[in-house]
């Protein structure tokens, strides 16, 4: 790749204030060389330069929770019965041909790029997403899921996970990482949580877990009651022991919480649970539109941020929210916690990178970081607004070009 220079009316580094009439220089190695006001950014004679006129140039967005292998699996809003929805989703996955997961993952990844997202943290069990990331030159963490609600399944489930991590290791490298995801408290036994956490520690792998999402999950762990508990009883699976734990306390008790753990959803977390997350140094993937679509309630985002937890934004799957739109998540998060447009933008860029432990590599436009950026057309009629507000008022249809490591991976067919 050649060194390239990009410029636009507004450059939003995110790590610093917006620059009017700014430019960005990306080196041949795909990393940022310089960013700042037009006159301060070098113009190497052999570097192609591209000016995007009135557009906004900002870091590529970081989606901290996707299930790209589910792309195209279902249409329409999810039904209100969450436990039933999970069962039907798993049946739909089981009916999908193995090859179809890779097709879905590739489409999901290109959809992300078209919506301005350049790094994903994805959970799934097919292994298709890490392959898609590696083969397409993407950036992200693929967390390999493991399931097993009966304590007797522990050894078999763990062995399966170990085999998958070994098999998928061929795709790890460069900008593609692998992690593990003991799926959720209603699909994973306490012993399997502990064993998976130990495996992750041994290999130094990051961990992602869906936690404190639904009322049914909390009822299962607190009292052995509710839809998930009923489903477990019907399958001969013993209730969690001991009862009386919150979902976050349950994870803590099984050694799952650490500075490498990403807690997805974290809706039902009260003060003591926030304290547990803080003590462990865990991060949160906040998914406001998925939480709303499933009727799970409202996560205490302001409280999580006030506690200085690392928080990023995630869309969850297309099966939950339809087309993935991380800027819509940022708007929802901003309303929820009363955030400025600049902070909401930070959550889906630099802070999202921080939640994944990737803040040294991506999330802002700074020398040394990857040349991941997105060019957005300002929404009509709003051009006088502050640039962060212009970004937040836009959506996937306004994305003009997306770059990953200085390579344009998406260009809109619409005129500039
Ligand atoms: Zn999810």
pLDDT single digits (tens) 90-131: 888 888 888 899 999 999 999 999 999 999 999 999 999 999
- The alpha carbon of 187 and the centre of ligand 1 are apart by a number of angstroms equal to 13
Inter-axis angle of helices 190-203 and 154-168, nearest 10:
30
- The alpha carbon of 260 and the centre of ligand 1 are apart by a number of angstroms equal to 18
Q: Specify whether the CB–CB gap between 262 and 285 falls below 8 A.
A: yes
- The alpha carbon of 167 and the centre of ligand 1 are apart by a number of angstroms equal to 23
Coil, helix or strand at residue 173 = strand
- The alpha carbon of 313 and the centre of ligand 1 are apart by a number of angstroms equal to 12
Give the model's pLDDT for residue 299. 92
Q: Specify whether the CB–CB gap between 264 and 277 falls below 8 A.
A: no
- The alpha carbon of 105 and the centre of ligand 1 are apart by a number of angstroms equal to 15
DSSP state of 377: P
Tokens of 407: 């390579």
Coil, helix or strand at residue 398 = helix
- The alpha carbon of 184 and the centre of ligand 1 are apart by a number of angstroms equal to 9
Mark out the alpha helices in 338-382 (DSSP H runs): 341-347, 350-355
Whole-number Cα distances in Å, 253 to 197, 203, 212, 247, 364? 11, 21, 15, 10, 36
Give the model's pLDDT for residue 88. 80
Residue with tokens 């957005």, as numbered in its chain: 376
Q: Which residues of the chain have pLDDT under 50?
A: none
- The alpha carbon of 264 and the centre of ligand 1 are apart by a number of angstroms equal to 7
- The alpha carbon of 122 and the centre of ligand 1 are apart by a number of angstroms equal to 9
- The alpha carbon of 380 and the centre of ligand 1 are apart by a number of angstroms equal to 34
Give the model's pLDDT for residue 76. 60
- The alpha carbon of 134 and the centre of ligand 1 are apart by a number of angstroms equal to 22
pTM over the 0.85 mark: yes
Give the model's pLDDT for residue 184. 95
- The alpha carbon of 38 and the centre of ligand 1 are apart by a number of angstroms equal to 41
- The alpha carbon of 211 and the centre of ligand 1 are apart by a number of angstroms equal to 10
Residues, CB-to-ion distance under 5 Å, ligand 1:
316
- The alpha carbon of 63 and the centre of ligand 1 are apart by a number of angstroms equal to 12
Tokens of 113: 């790029």
Residue with tokens 């179809």, as numbered in its chain: 100
Give the model's pLDDT for residue 415. 67
Distance in angstroms (rounded) separating the CA atoms of residues 206 and 302: 25
Distance in angstroms (rounded) separating the CA atoms of residues 278 and 280: 5
Coil, helix or strand at residue 378 = coil
- The alpha carbon of 210 and the centre of ligand 1 are apart by a number of angstroms equal to 6
């Amino acid at each position: 790749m050649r060194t390239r220079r990009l410029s636009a009316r507004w450059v939003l580094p995110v790590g610093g204030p917006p620059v009017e009439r700014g430019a960005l220089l990306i080196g041949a190695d795909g990393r940022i060389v310089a960013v700042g006001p037009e006159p301060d950014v070098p113009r190497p004679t052999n570097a192609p330069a591209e000016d995007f006129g009135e557009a906004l140039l900002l870091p590529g967005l970081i989606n901290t929770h996707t299930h790209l292998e589910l792309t195209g699996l279902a249409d329409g809003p999810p039904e209100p019965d969450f436990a039933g929805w999970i069962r039907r989703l798993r049946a739909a996955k089981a009916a999908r041909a193995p090859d179809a997961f890779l097709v879905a993952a590739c489409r999901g990844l290109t959809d992300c790029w078209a919506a301005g997202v350049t790094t994903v943290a994805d959970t799934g069990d097919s292994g298709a997403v890490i392959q898609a990331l590696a083969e397409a030159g993407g950036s992200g963490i693929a967390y390999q899921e493991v399931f097993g609600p009966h304590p007797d399944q522990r050894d078999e489930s763990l062995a399966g996970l170990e085999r998958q991590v070994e098999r998928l290791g061929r795709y790890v490298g460069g900008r593609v990482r692998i992690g593990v995801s003991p799926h959720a408290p209603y699909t994973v036994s306490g012993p399997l949580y502990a064993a998976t956490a130990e495996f992750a520690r041994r290999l130094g792998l990051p961990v992602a877990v869906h936690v404190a999402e639904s009322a049914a999950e909390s009822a299962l762990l607190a009292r052995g009651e509710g839809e998930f508990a009923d489903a477990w009883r019907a399958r001969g699976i013993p209730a969690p022991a001991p009862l009386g734990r919150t979902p976050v306390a349950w994870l803590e008790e099984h050694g799952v919480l650490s500075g490498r753990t990403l807690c997805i959803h974290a809706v039902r977390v009260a003060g003591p649970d926030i304290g547990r997350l803080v003590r462990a140094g865990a991060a949160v993937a906040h998914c406001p539109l998925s939480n709303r679509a499933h009727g799970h309630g409202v996560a205490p985002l302001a409280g999580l941020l006030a506690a200085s937890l690392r928080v990023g934004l995630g869309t969850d799957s297309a099966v939950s929210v339809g087309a993935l739109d991380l800027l819509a998540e940022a708007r929802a998060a901003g309303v929820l916690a009363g955030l400025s447009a600049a902070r909401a933008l930070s959550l889906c860029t630099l802070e999202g990178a921080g939640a994944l432990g990737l803040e040294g590599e991506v999330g802002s436009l700074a020398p040394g970081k990857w040349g991941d950026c997105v060019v957005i057309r300002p929404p009509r009629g709003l051009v006088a607004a502050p640039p962060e507000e212009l970004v937040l008022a836009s959506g996937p249809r306004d994305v003009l070009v997306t770059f990953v490591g200085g390579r344009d991976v998406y260009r809109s067919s619409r005129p500039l």
